[in-house]
Amino acid sequence: MYDLAWKLHRESIDLLWWGIIGVTEQYILGKTENMRYLKEVELIGDHIGRICESAVNDLNCMSQSISNPPNDSRNSRIESEKDLLLALYRHWTIESSIRYSMFTAVSLKLWTVKGEKRLKQILAEMGLPLSESRQMYRSMDLNLRKQFFGMIEKISNTHNLLQITYPSFILQKGFKTKYQCADYVYSMIATLESNVSINT
């Protein structure tokens, strides 16, 4: 859809964002392979650089960003940023996110007794106390939140979680509001499924 808008010279940040949401949904739900997703990310990076005057074209460093022109009151921009294949971890507890995310549940076989023990072992190796892992992410100790991404990356090699990090994107509106595209995907799925259940 975005490619069509681009060919018709009708592209915009909003349309690009919805394209990113579609690509992300396919990847985090296992509908597309890793290599194909990475190619899509490269194409998205090209579109980001093309539709905006202030592009930082360094996708390898995950520091690429685009902004609307200054006279645009929405002041929106899209930034590329590494993320984790952990469902809604910013809005949930770390323990629950690891347990119920498809990638970690399958990789660690968390439905088994051994898998449950392995989950506790991973949290211990990360240096994340159980009490903190069972709190809402935003209520966790600030230092632990800052270190969490690095903690996950550190244990990923030893626990067959090499693809737990992946290139992703965030949408920033103004100075404070940020939307992570994976969170957007899960919220949209929940909304669509709840509407279906209401209508049936």
Residue 194 has pLDDT above 60, yes or no: yes
What digits encode the pLDDT tens for the residues 107-156?
A: 999 999 999 999 999 999 999 999 999 999 999 999 999 999 999 999 99
Through-space distance between the first and last CA atoms of the chain, rounded to whole angstroms: 30
Where are the chain's structural domains? 1-82+170-199, 86-163
pTM of this prediction?
Answer: 0.79
Q: Give the per-residue pLDDT at 152.
A: 94
Chain centroid to CA 63: how far?
15
Residues comprising the chain, all counted = 200
Q: Give the per-residue pLDDT at 198.
A: 63
Q: Give strand ranges (E) for 25-134.
A: 65-67, 76-84
What digits encode the pLDDT tens for the residues 71-83?
A: 443 577 888 899 9
Structure-model confidence comparison of residues 138 and 198, the more confident one: 138
13 contacts: CB under 8 Å, gap ≥ 6: 51, 52, 66, 68, 76, 77, 78
